[in-house]
Chains A and B, each alone.
Chain A
Amino acid sequence: AQSVTQPDIHITVSEGASLELRCNYSYGATPYLFWYVQSPGQGLQLLLKYFSGDTLVQGIKGFEAEFKRSQSSFNLRKPSVHWSDAAEYFCAVGVVGGSQGNLIFGKGTKLSVKP
Protein backbone atom coordinates (compact mmCIF):
# COMPACT_ATOMS: atom_id res chain seq x y z
CA ALA A 1 0.00 0.00 0.00
CA GLN A 2 1.10 3.54 -0.66
CA SER A 3 2.37 5.42 2.36
CA VAL A 4 4.57 8.29 3.47
CA THR A 5 6.67 8.21 6.62
CA GLN A 6 8.13 11.22 8.35
CA PRO A 7 10.17 9.67 11.15
CA ASP A 8 10.67 12.86 13.15
CA ILE A 9 7.59 14.22 14.90
CA HIS A 10 9.36 17.28 16.32
CA ILE A 11 12.74 18.85 15.55
CA THR A 12 14.36 21.83 17.22
CA VAL A 13 17.22 23.68 15.54
CA SER A 14 19.03 26.91 16.31
CA GLU A 15 18.54 29.89 14.07
CA GLY A 16 21.23 29.89 11.40
CA ALA A 17 21.81 26.15 11.65
CA SER A 18 21.18 23.78 8.77
CA LEU A 19 18.05 21.68 8.56
CA GLU A 20 17.13 18.32 7.10
CA LEU A 21 13.65 16.84 7.39
CA ARG A 22 13.29 13.22 6.45
CA CYS A 23 10.63 11.67 4.26
CA ASN A 24 10.32 8.08 3.05
CA TYR A 25 7.62 6.86 0.73
CA SER A 26 6.21 3.58 -0.43
CA TYR A 27 4.80 3.60 -3.93
CA GLY A 28 4.95 1.05 -6.71
CA ALA A 29 5.59 3.40 -9.61
CA THR A 30 7.66 6.51 -10.19
CA PRO A 31 6.46 8.88 -7.50
CA TYR A 32 5.36 12.46 -7.74
CA LEU A 33 6.51 14.06 -4.49
CA PHE A 34 5.63 17.24 -2.67
CA TRP A 35 6.60 19.19 0.43
CA TYR A 36 4.07 21.51 2.03
CA VAL A 37 4.44 23.81 5.04
CA GLN A 38 1.70 24.79 7.48
CA SER A 39 1.86 27.66 9.95
CA PRO A 40 -0.41 27.40 13.01
CA GLY A 41 -4.07 27.72 12.09
CA GLN A 42 -3.29 28.11 8.41
CA GLY A 43 -3.61 26.05 5.27
CA LEU A 44 -0.84 24.22 3.46
CA GLN A 45 1.63 26.12 1.32
CA LEU A 46 3.52 24.30 -1.42
CA LEU A 47 7.28 24.48 -0.91
CA LEU A 48 8.44 22.35 -3.82
CA LYS A 49 7.59 19.35 -5.95
CA TYR A 50 9.34 16.60 -7.88
CA PHE A 51 7.82 15.14 -11.01
CA SER A 52 10.80 13.97 -13.05
CA GLY A 53 14.25 15.01 -14.22
CA ASP A 54 16.83 16.53 -11.93
CA THR A 55 16.64 14.82 -8.58
CA LEU A 56 17.60 17.97 -6.69
CA VAL A 57 14.64 20.30 -6.59
CA GLN A 58 14.67 23.94 -5.55
CA GLY A 59 11.70 25.48 -3.84
CA ILE A 60 10.57 28.67 -2.23
CA LYS A 61 12.05 30.25 0.91
CA GLY A 62 15.47 28.73 0.23
CA PHE A 63 14.38 25.11 0.61
CA GLU A 64 15.54 22.24 -1.55
CA ALA A 65 14.83 18.52 -1.62
CA GLU A 66 16.61 15.55 -3.11
CA PHE A 67 14.85 12.54 -4.56
CA LYS A 68 16.74 9.29 -3.99
CA ARG A 69 15.01 6.41 -5.68
CA SER A 70 17.28 3.75 -4.16
CA GLN A 71 16.38 4.92 -0.67
CA SER A 72 12.74 5.81 -1.42
CA SER A 73 13.43 9.15 0.16
CA PHE A 74 12.69 12.80 -0.52
CA ASN A 75 14.40 14.75 2.25
CA LEU A 76 13.92 18.48 2.65
CA ARG A 77 16.92 20.70 3.39
CA LYS A 78 17.75 24.29 4.14
CA PRO A 79 21.30 25.55 4.73
CA SER A 80 20.40 28.24 7.26
CA VAL A 81 17.15 28.26 9.20
CA HIS A 82 15.32 31.50 10.04
CA TRP A 83 12.98 31.97 12.99
CA SER A 84 10.10 32.38 10.52
CA ASP A 85 10.62 28.80 9.32
CA ALA A 86 9.06 27.48 12.54
CA ALA A 87 6.01 25.56 11.31
CA GLU A 88 4.84 22.05 10.50
CA TYR A 89 6.13 20.37 7.36
CA PHE A 90 4.31 17.70 5.40
CA CYS A 91 5.68 15.37 2.77
CA ALA A 92 3.20 13.91 0.29
CA VAL A 93 3.18 11.49 -2.61
CA GLY A 94 0.83 11.89 -5.54
CA VAL A 95 -1.07 8.72 -6.36
CA VAL A 96 -3.68 7.63 -8.84
CA GLY A 97 -6.96 8.53 -7.18
CA GLY A 98 -8.83 6.28 -4.82
CA SER A 99 -10.16 6.26 -1.30
CA GLN A 100 -6.98 7.96 -0.12
CA GLY A 101 -7.36 10.72 -2.66
CA ASN A 102 -4.68 11.97 -4.97
CA LEU A 103 -2.22 12.97 -2.27
CA ILE A 104 -1.05 10.76 0.58
CA PHE A 105 0.48 12.77 3.38
CA GLY A 106 2.95 11.92 6.09
CA LYS A 107 2.05 12.75 9.67
CA GLY A 108 4.17 15.88 9.58
CA THR A 109 7.28 17.18 11.31
CA LYS A 110 6.97 20.16 13.60
CA LEU A 111 9.96 22.47 13.42
CA SER A 112 10.89 24.73 16.32
CA VAL A 113 13.63 27.33 15.95
CA LYS A 114 15.73 28.45 18.92
CA PRO A 115 17.03 32.03 18.90
Chain B
Amino acid sequence: KAGVTQTPRYLIKTRGQQVTLSCSPISGHRSVSWYQQTPGQGLQFLFEYFSETQRNKGNFPGRFSGRQFSNSRSEMNVSTLELGDSALYLCASSSRDARRGDTQYFGPGTRLTVL
Protein backbone atom coordinates (compact mmCIF):
# COMPACT_ATOMS: atom_id res chain seq x y z
CA LYS B 1 0.00 0.00 0.00
CA ALA B 2 1.40 3.39 -0.97
CA GLY B 3 2.22 5.78 1.84
CA VAL B 4 1.25 9.38 2.34
CA THR B 5 2.36 11.55 -0.54
CA GLN B 6 2.90 15.28 -0.52
CA THR B 7 3.46 17.64 -3.40
CA PRO B 8 5.47 19.56 -4.13
CA ARG B 9 8.46 18.49 -2.06
CA TYR B 10 10.14 21.88 -2.25
CA LEU B 11 8.83 25.38 -2.79
CA ILE B 12 10.42 28.80 -2.86
CA LYS B 13 8.15 31.81 -2.61
CA THR B 14 8.51 35.49 -1.81
CA ARG B 15 6.83 37.47 0.92
CA GLY B 16 3.25 38.39 0.17
CA GLN B 17 2.63 35.49 -2.20
CA GLN B 18 0.32 32.61 -1.48
CA VAL B 19 0.99 28.89 -1.67
CA THR B 20 -1.01 25.68 -1.86
CA LEU B 21 0.33 22.35 -0.63
CA SER B 22 -1.23 19.00 -1.40
CA CYS B 23 -1.47 15.75 0.54
CA SER B 24 -2.77 12.36 -0.56
CA PRO B 25 -3.42 10.03 2.37
CA ILE B 26 -2.94 6.30 2.50
CA SER B 27 -5.68 4.56 0.56
CA GLY B 28 -8.69 4.05 2.81
CA HIS B 29 -7.63 6.65 5.35
CA ARG B 30 -10.19 9.36 5.91
CA SER B 31 -8.40 11.61 8.38
CA VAL B 32 -5.68 14.06 7.42
CA SER B 33 -3.75 16.27 9.81
CA TRP B 34 -1.26 19.01 9.00
CA TYR B 35 1.76 20.07 11.04
CA GLN B 36 4.34 22.80 10.74
CA GLN B 37 7.88 21.96 11.79
CA THR B 38 10.49 24.61 12.49
CA PRO B 39 13.79 24.43 14.39
CA GLY B 40 12.58 26.90 16.99
CA GLN B 41 9.02 25.76 17.61
CA GLY B 42 9.26 22.08 16.77
CA LEU B 43 6.17 20.29 15.53
CA GLN B 44 3.01 22.36 15.73
CA PHE B 45 -0.47 21.23 14.82
CA LEU B 46 -2.25 23.20 12.10
CA PHE B 47 -5.55 21.41 11.48
CA GLU B 48 -7.26 18.08 11.04
CA TYR B 49 -9.86 17.01 8.52
CA PHE B 50 -12.12 14.01 8.55
CA SER B 51 -14.67 13.28 5.85
CA GLU B 52 -14.26 16.76 4.38
CA THR B 53 -14.91 18.47 7.72
CA GLN B 54 -12.39 20.37 9.77
CA ARG B 55 -12.44 18.81 13.22
CA ASN B 56 -9.61 20.60 14.98
CA LYS B 57 -7.60 23.70 14.39
CA GLY B 58 -4.33 24.79 15.96
CA ASN B 59 -3.31 28.25 17.05
CA PHE B 60 -2.35 29.68 13.71
CA PRO B 61 -3.57 32.87 12.05
CA GLY B 62 -6.36 32.86 9.51
CA ARG B 63 -3.80 33.05 6.70
CA PHE B 64 -3.50 29.30 7.12
CA SER B 65 -6.43 27.38 5.74
CA GLY B 66 -7.17 23.95 4.45
CA ARG B 67 -9.73 21.69 2.93
CA GLN B 68 -10.38 18.05 2.22
CA PHE B 69 -11.94 16.56 -0.85
CA SER B 70 -14.33 13.64 -1.18
CA ASN B 71 -11.44 11.33 -2.08
CA SER B 72 -9.75 12.32 1.24
CA ARG B 73 -7.01 14.27 -0.48
CA SER B 74 -6.26 17.48 1.36
CA GLU B 75 -4.79 20.85 0.54
CA MET B 76 -3.52 23.59 2.76
CA ASN B 77 -3.16 27.19 1.70
CA VAL B 78 -1.08 29.96 3.16
CA SER B 79 -1.85 33.47 1.99
CA THR B 80 0.26 36.59 2.31
CA LEU B 81 3.41 34.64 3.09
CA GLU B 82 5.77 35.88 5.77
CA LEU B 83 9.41 35.00 6.33
CA GLY B 84 8.40 33.09 9.46
CA ASP B 85 6.28 30.72 7.41
CA SER B 86 9.44 29.03 6.16
CA ALA B 87 9.15 25.51 7.49
CA LEU B 88 8.67 21.85 6.74
CA TYR B 89 4.96 21.16 6.39
CA LEU B 90 4.00 17.62 7.25
CA CYS B 91 0.81 15.82 6.47
CA ALA B 92 -0.34 12.73 8.38
CA SER B 93 -3.18 10.35 7.70
CA SER B 94 -5.04 7.89 9.88
CA SER B 95 -7.78 5.43 9.23
CA ARG B 96 -10.37 6.71 11.65
CA ASP B 97 -10.98 10.20 12.86
CA ALA B 98 -7.55 10.52 14.44
CA ARG B 99 -8.82 10.20 17.96
CA ARG B 100 -6.02 9.88 20.37
CA GLY B 101 -5.64 6.19 19.98
CA ASP B 102 -5.33 6.08 16.24
CA THR B 103 -1.93 5.94 14.62
CA GLN B 104 -0.94 8.77 12.31
CA TYR B 105 1.31 8.03 9.35
CA PHE B 106 3.36 10.89 7.99
CA GLY B 107 4.32 11.96 4.52
CA PRO B 108 7.78 13.19 3.51
CA GLY B 109 6.80 16.84 3.90
CA THR B 110 6.94 19.96 1.78
CA ARG B 111 9.86 22.27 2.45
CA LEU B 112 8.65 25.87 2.02
CA THR B 113 11.18 28.68 1.86
CA VAL B 114 9.93 32.26 1.91
CA LEU B 115 12.36 34.89 0.66
Look across to chain B and name the residue whose beta carbon is closest to the beta carbon of A96: B100
| Structural contact, A102 and B100, CB atoms closer than 8 A | yes
- Write out the residue numbers on chain A whose beta carbons fall within 8 Å of the beta carbon of B64: none
Q: Which one, A42, A102, A103, contacts B109 given CB within 8 A?
A: A42
Interface string of B37-78 (1 = CB under 8 A from A): 000001101001000000111110000000000000000000
Encode contact with B along A58-94: 1 for CB under 8 Å, 0 otherwise.
0000000000000000000000000000000010001
Nearest to B58 among chain A residues (CB) is: A99
Would A105 and B42 count as touching, CB distance under 8 A? yes
Chain B interface main SS type:
strand
Contacting residues, chain A, for B109 (C-beta < 8 A) = 41-43
B90 touches A43 (CB 8 A): yes
User: Cβ of B59: which chain A residues have Cβ within 8 Å of it?
Assistant: 99
CA distance A43 to B90 in the complex (A): 7
Tell me the complex Cα distance, A103–B106, Å: 12
A44 to B106, Cβ gap below 8 A? yes
**Contact residues of A: prevailing secondary structure:** loop
Residue of B nearest to A98 (CB): B56
In the assembled complex, the CB of B99 is this many whole angstroms from the nearest CB of chain A, namely 7
* A39 closest partner in B (C-beta): B108
A83 to chain B, nearest CB (A): 22
Which residues in window 14-38 of B have CB below 8 A to A?
A: 33, 35
**B79 contacts partner chain A, Cβ-Cβ < 8 Å:** no
Interface string of A24-58 (1 = CB under 8 A from B): 00000000101010000111111001010000000
Q: Does B104 contact A (CB under 8 A)?
A: yes
Tell me if A111 is interfacial: C-beta within 8 Å of chain B: no
Q: By the criterion CB–CB under 8 Å, are B45 and A100 in contact?
A: yes
Is the Cβ of B45 less than 8 Å from the Cβ of A103?
Answer: yes
Give the Cβ gap from A23 to chain B, nearest Cβ, in Å.
14
| Complex CA–CA separation, A106 to B107 (angstroms) | 19
Query: Does A44 contact B57, Cβ atoms closer than 8 Å?
Result: no
Q: CB within 8 Å of A: which residues of B? A: 4, 6, 33, 35, 42-43, 45, 48, 55-59, 88, 90, 92, 98-109, 111
